[in-house]
Structure 1
Amino acid sequence: MDFEQADAINQAIRLLSLRHRARAAALLAPLGLYPGQEALLLELARTGPMIQAQLSEALGCEPPSVTLMTRKLEASGHIRREPAPSDKRASIVELTDSGKALADKIKPLWCALAEETVSGLPAQTVAELPGILNALTGNVDTRRTRHPHGR
């Protein structure tokens, strides 16, 4: 791949990431949330209670980031953390009734953001997009074993 193509790809991904996050922030602000917190709430709504380390893995976030988010969401009454019965060093995180209600408010915003993001794209492209984006994410996942030049 030549530099011009690489630059075009990298710039497009960078700009999409920045603008998507900014748009998400604008949609979440009226709910008193910051980007990232919605993903945590939606993950718990999807899966139910889970150990904080598992939540970190599911979100693809570093544990200190999840710890900070859980502290803020716990202080606002949207989640609760309790020691895991099997390991007192681990915390189980679960939604409160307030958190469940908030997750329900996030869902239509999330749908609107996705629709806004893919506006004008053919339905076939929209259907293929999650697979493509997940493949791109996997390609740059720092937790994977790296091979020089992708080989």
Structure 2
Amino acid sequence: MTHSTPEAGKEPAATGPAVTGQEATVPVPTAAGGGPVSHAIFRLARLHRMLAGQLLRRIGLHPGQELVMMHLWELGPQRQTDLVRLLDSDAATMTRTVRRLEQAGFVRRSPSPTDKRATIIEPTVASQALRREVERIWSQLEDVSTAGLSGDERAAALRTLERLEGNLVQAATDSAGAGETER
């Protein structure tokens, strides 16, 4: 987050203030100099997913599978298409995720009684023990991610992240709408 990799004989280009005096784990390439926040988001998301993967692997899950389970535990049985929409996923990814969760014994698939095209996904009894572990892991991720931040700083970080997400959702919506008018 602090400096890009210097070219031979040149001083490093500053791309933002150091946070708590720590250097970025990945140097910011010169080409990304116009997007230091975007580069920081990329690095942060990559590291968060990596740590989540390490923690989830211990309980037999891969990143993303716990989110499917969270929705199923909270909402009960869902059509697979509804899970795709809830998680802003795609059908192929969700099919693979559900298949793996089913093979692990955490969900059960069945045809919808009202729509022959739909598949209902429901959490199994075996997945209920997993719920406590997933909740513990998410608390651990939160603690590690926000270590050293005060309550006010955590709240400010959350507001900032929500605003960034809103900006990107709006840009994606605008882009999709522009693509529709060009056709």
How many equivalent residue pairs? 146
Percent identical residues:
32
Task: Give distance in 1, aligned partners of 2:76 and 2:158.
Answer: 23
Gap runs ≥5 in structure 2:
1-30, 179-183
Which residue does 1:101 correspond to in 2? Answer: 129
Which residue does 2:147 correspond to in 1? Answer: 119
Gap runs ≥5 in structure 1:
none
- Return the match for 2:100 from 53, 68, 72: 72
Larger proportion of strand: 1
Which residue does 1:144 correspond to in 2? Answer: 173
Which residue does 1:9 correspond to in 2? Answer: 37
Task: Give distance in 2, aligned partners of 1:85 and 1:111.
Answer: 37
Q: Provide the alpha-carbon RMSD of the alignment.
A: 2.1
Amino acid at match of 1:93: I
TM-score, normalized by length of structure 2? 0.72
Task: Give distance in 1, aligned partners of 2:172 and 2:102.
Answer: 29
Which residue does 1:58 correspond to in 2? Answer: 86
Which structure exhibits the higher relative contact order, with contacts defined as CA atoms closer than 8 Å and separated by 6 or more residues? 1
Output one character per residue of 1:25-55: Cα deviation in whole Å (capped at 9) or x when no partner.
Answer: 0101111111111111111111111111111
**Greater gyration radius:** 2
Which residue does 1:48 correspond to in 2? Answer: 76
Does the 8 Å CA contact 2:32/2:39 hold for their aligned counterparts?
A: no
